[in-house]
Chain A
Amino acid sequence: MSTARLAARQVRYATLSYVRNPPAVFFGLLMPVLFLVIFATVFGNDTIESRGGISQSTYYVPGLVALGIVSTTFVNLSMSLVVLRENRVLKRLRGTPLPAPAFLAGRVATAIGMATALTVVLLVIGRLAYGVELPGGTAPGVVLALVVGAASFCSMGVAFSTLVPNEDAGPAVVNAAVLPLYFISGVFFPTDEAPGWLNDVANVFPVKHLAEALLEAFEPGSAAPGIAWGHLGIVALWGVAGALAAVSTFRWTPKGE
């Protein structure tokens, strides 16, 4: 079977593994939806002056799309690869004729598929329940941010999995990395009023830039095509760095073996 077909088969098994794992589904897929519903319902009618007076609902959709992309790619891959590595599933796969690129492409494609599905769900809920619409012609900005963001956070997730020492530490280590970044990157609430040094820190990391790129497409004054090249460039740089780190540090055997 060709590498491409084997990768497609891996998508099937990785998807089954994901959707049958209740914590993964809850934290990866349901929580961003819950956040949107709760935040938009409670604070939706306020406006944000620092962002040209856009409604809170309009702010939440791109912010939570960014969170959803990170949770379905980076969080998902870094945690699941640690489990597979420590349980010697990766080691066993390494002993079969399955080409390594087919395995990794299958896992990455699955994560990107999840990110896409979640993004669509969030956009649809935002539009139907809270009347959040994309300004005309900025859809390319959203699509490109999704593609660049999902691919980059996948490669960062693969690289990050090698930093997690064991299966039990997975959720703690991965959350320790992403939760503070969510808060300082304006995913939940605008951070324009935060101290400058905190924004300087946030600007180093890619979550902030993914959220800004998505937000730019949603801001009422945005013009077509709504692509934030600067922000997406920084996300992509992180993605390339992640890919390079992943290639040089990825391990098929448990740590300490």
Chain B
Amino acid sequence: MRVTQPAVTVRALRKSYDSFEAVKGIDLEVRHGEVFAFLGPNGAGKTTTTEILEGYRERSGGEVSVLGVDPARPTRAWRSRIGIVLQAAKPEHFLTVRETVAEYADFYPHPRSVDETIAQVGLSDSAGKRAGQLSGGQQRRLDVALALVGDPDLIFMDEPTTGFDPAARRNAWGMIGGLRDLGKTIFLTTHFMDEAQALADRVAIIREGVIVAHGPPSELGGRGRRSFIRFTLPEGVAVGDVPVPAREEGGRAVIEVEQPVRPLAAITAWAMERRYELPDLEVERPSLEDVYLELTEEGA
């Protein structure tokens, strides 16, 4: 039963602080074994929702199930199946990396190897260092190690790459991909749309306490979202000669369509017949970032 249930189910979740309604009746579903990215501007209800799922906050209304348990009534057994990477948590300064990871390993019934976990986050060379002497990025990786050492089924990561340089971010992405390959479910919040696009199987975007989009990044926004086909018009060719409806922008033909395959076939067939190379032919699908900006813009 448990395997066929989603890892996380949220129905009509509401959360109010005094008179302010931070979360206004949202539905979410996270499937087992997927990377789920939860996106939204600061103050949109992202952290509130995540902390309700993690068992840190109580909800005002609705139903929540995380690994089959209501997080408002957390149990030790449930806690041992969940790993949490908090935003902006610091380690205990005077314990070494290995001591800290070993301390957390003791909390869990079936922990992973301490040294392997340290290696997985790339801290083997610093295992004997005191945590207070680590750089900010290394402390973040130690945080991730503490969330992984209990071998949890579901891992919450709150902005795990904030403050990382580009190389460190790529490494972190590789590690998160590796966790998915191990069958872990990952609930990720991030500001970085490229991160969500690269990692997430599905995303949800929250804005002012309401889910405004929910689905695989490639399908986000649904119908009516346009792709663009663009190429420079060959010498002596007018935009009216292009076999599909097009407009001209600075010497380039621009074709705006919902489904790019058919017009693209028509254009390439036309170009081959007339021996045009169209060296800068491109098809642009709206990126997650475009969709995100459109959906979270004021008044959108």
Q: Which residues of A contact B (CB under 8 A)?
A: 1, 6, 9, 13, 16-17, 20-21, 84, 87-89, 91-92, 94-99, 253
Task: Judge whether B95 is part of the interface by a CB distance below 8 angstroms.
Answer: yes
- A16 x B106 contact (CB < 8 A): no
User: What are the 8 A-B residue pairs with the smallest beta carbon separation, nearest first?
Assistant: A88-B89, A20-B94, A87-B90, A95-B84, A97-B79, A97-B76, A97-B80, A98-B107
- B54 x A16 contact (CB < 8 A): no
| Bound-complex Cα distance A95 to B82 (A) | 8
- B106 x A88 contact (CB < 8 A): no
- B76 x A9 contact (CB < 8 A): no
In this complex, how many residues of chain B approach chain A with their Cβ under 8 Å: the count is 29
Question: In the assembled complex, which residues on chain B have CB atoms less than 8 Å from the CB atom of A20?
Answer: 94, 130
For window 60-105 of chain B, which residues contact chain A by CB distance below 8 Å?
Answer: 76-77, 79-80, 82, 84, 86, 88-95, 99, 103-104
B66 to chain A, nearest CB (A): 12
- A17 x B91 contact (CB < 8 A): no
Task: Judge whether B220 is part of the interface by a CB distance below 8 angstroms.
Answer: no
Task: Judge whether B160 is part of the interface by a CB distance below 8 angstroms.
Answer: no
Determine which of B77, B79, B95, B108 lies in contact with A16 in the assembled complex, contact meaning CB atoms within 8 Å: B95
Task: Judge whether B40 is part of the interface by a CB distance below 8 angstroms.
Answer: no
- A95 x B86 contact (CB < 8 A): yes
Question: In the assembled complex, which residues on chain A have CB atoms less than 8 Å from the CB atom of B77?
Answer: 97
Task: Judge whether B56 is part of the interface by a CB distance below 8 angstroms.
Answer: yes
List the B residue with the shortest CB-CB distance to A90.
B89
B57 to chain A, nearest CB (A): 9
- A94 x B56 contact (CB < 8 A): yes
Question: In the assembled complex, which residues on chain A have CB atoms less than 8 Å from the CB atom of B99?
Answer: 13, 16
Task: Judge whether B7 is part of the interface by a CB distance below 8 angstroms.
Answer: no
- A91 x B56 contact (CB < 8 A): yes
| Bound-complex Cα distance A95 to B56 (A) | 8
Question: In the assembled complex, which residues on chain A have CB atoms less than 8 Å from the CB atom of B254?
Answer: none
